Amino acid sequence: MEFISQLRHTFASGKTKSLEWRQGQLLALKQMLEENEKTIYKALFDDLGKCQFESHVSEYGFVLKDIALFLKKTKQWAKPRNVKTPLLLQPGKSKITPEPLGTVLIMGAWNYPLQLVLSPMVAALAAGNCIVLKPSELSQATSNLLADLVPKYLDPNAIVVYEGDVAATTELLKQRFDHIMYTGSEAVGKIVMRAASEYLTPVTLELGGKSPCIVDDNTNIKVTADRIVWGKFINAGQTCIAPDYILVTPKQREPLIKALQLSLIKQYGHDPKQSPDYGRIINDRHFQRITGYLNGIEDKLIVGGQTDAEQKYIAPTLIFGPELTSPVMQEEIFGPLLPIIEVASMDKAVNFINDREKPLALYLFSNDELTIKKVTNETSAGTLSINDTVVFMVNSEFPFGGVGNSGMGSYHGKWGFDSFSHLKPVLHKSFFADAPVRYAPYSGWKQKA
Ligand code: NAD
């Protein structure tokens, strides 16, 4: 692929290493977003029926906030970082010098089709890399828009948008990169990692899985329900960190279900299909996949269950007590269905989670210090969020990423800068005061040492 040689050539020229170039590209990206705000909202609406508020908060505004942070911090993060030098290496100085990796590939998923490619790109640009950007072909409007806009605003010799389906991506993955960052499913994550191994290319894998949400006896049930409903049904449940299912104590079961019902009405009205704030499913395949989960569990539905294939609409749906062997409890739902499972105690909730793959996010609603301590110490997850759902994403001090099957590596803020950098240790010794004790021959007292 000719364009990759071009990117390598650009990187070798050293152009992307200068702070001016990096900041210039970040400013150009900011300009691209600001001058095309309305067109971006339209593309996101065409792909996912996303309303403007959601598009602003979780995509457009999210990336702008990232750019502002990197514009402020890149100079500092790119500087050599002084570290201590042990006595044995004195006189000398030790520094860690971040250097760009080279030409990196960023592959995004369709559910947040702008944010999931541009947010990693901000970090990769700030770190001084050349970039191939591969948006998901499933979110076609956003992919087309990025392919149109990026070359108009950013340095075309250093950043290329590559569009295409699975066959085209398979070809792309045969190329050599210096890093690959992939956001998407576990199955494709394995394909990416296999392809990367050909050249020992390091990977960051931002994957998914089932993110549990525990509701304890001791909570503010109204706020709990509002926060679960928002985190689950934003983007019609197509969010990698959406609560996938709820684990609730017997005492809290009825109050929680009632509060969730009320919150759904409050947020999306009696008929969510008419709500301008409720999204649609990305395509027919995913619509069939999600509605398929409802087959055979119709008697478990408490709320929702209505669907409209033409509009790719699936109502926010609450399910109580599905079999743990049913597909809805075996696979990542990635849609607006919320199963609720009763567990006898917090011990049982912890065991439930530990019996399964490590989740990308784990949510706990509790005011009880012992429960909070227990869940924090006895479970593992990409992120643990106590008393709220998906909003932890906006804290750029947090590394965002999974653990185990939910992913490897992380980004956001400085974590992203470091992921797209090699943190090169540089030891600088002085010729002064050379101590010859370490040199051969190791005779005399050295043999006894
Ligand atoms: P997707 O189908 O859009 O695939 C993502 C990327 O992989 C696309 O660029 C696509 O072209 C490419 N791709 C797909 N199949 C391929 C193949 N066979 N070979 C090579 N490349 C291929 O997205 P998806 O996989 O449906 O995404 C949904 C998953 O992503 C969910 O599991 C979700 O939890 C996860 N996700 C994770 C995050 C995160 O930040 N951790 C964010 C969003 C989504």
pLDDT tens figures, 409-429: 999 999 999 999 999 999 999
The pLDDT value recorded for residue 204 is 98
DSSP-assigned letter for residue 274: G
How far is residue 422's CA from residue 124's CA, in Å, rounded to a whole number? Answer: 12
Q: Is 145 in the pocket of ligand 1 (CB under 6 A)?
A: no
**pLDDT (average), residues 139-148:** 98
**Ligand 1, pocket-test mutation among 116, 165, 169, most atoms within 8 A of CB:** 169
**Ligand 1 centroid vs 138 CA: distance in angstroms?**
10
Closest by CA to 223, choosing from 263, 252, 176, is: 263
CA distances from 330 to 187, 190, 239, 333, 394 (A): 15, 19, 17, 9, 29
pLDDT, mean over the chain: 96
Cis omega (within 30 of 0) for bond into 135: no
Assembly ipTM: 0.95
pLDDT 10s digits, 111-130 = 999 999 999 999 999 999 99
The pLDDT value recorded for residue 314 is 98
Contacts of 166 (CB under 8 A, 6+ apart): none
**pLDDT (average), residues 125-143:** 98
**Ligand 1, pocket-test mutation among 240, 290, 419, most atoms within 8 A of CB:** 240
Q: Does position 438 have pLDDT exceeding 90, yes or no?
A: no
pLDDT 10s digits, 29-69 = 999 999 999 999 999 999 999 999 999 999 999 999 999 99
Strand partners, 100: 421
Closest by CA to 102, choosing from 80, 120, 124, 119, is: 124
Q: Is 138 in the pocket of ligand 1 (CB under 6 A)?
A: yes
Q: Is 134 in the pocket of ligand 1 (CB under 6 A)?
A: yes
Taking CA atoms only, the protein residue closest to ligand 1 atom 43 is 240
pLDDT band at 436 (very low <50, low <70, confident <90, very high): confident
The pLDDT value recorded for residue 285 is 96
Full-prediction pTM beyond 0.90?
Answer: yes
Q: Is 107 in the pocket of ligand 1 (CB under 6 A)?
A: yes
**Ligand 1 centroid vs 254 CA: distance in angstroms?**
36
**Ligand 1 centroid vs 186 CA: distance in angstroms?**
8
pLDDT 10s digits, 366-413 = 999 999 999 999 999 999 999 999 999 999 999 999 999 999 999 999
**Ligand 1 centroid vs 192 CA: distance in angstroms?**
10
Q: Give the count of beta carbons closer than 10 Å to the beta carbon of residue 359.
A: 29
pLDDT band at 433 (very low <50, low <70, confident <90, very high): confident
- Contact assessment for residue 183 and residue 204, using Cβ atoms and an 8 Å cutoff: no
Strand partners, 303: 318
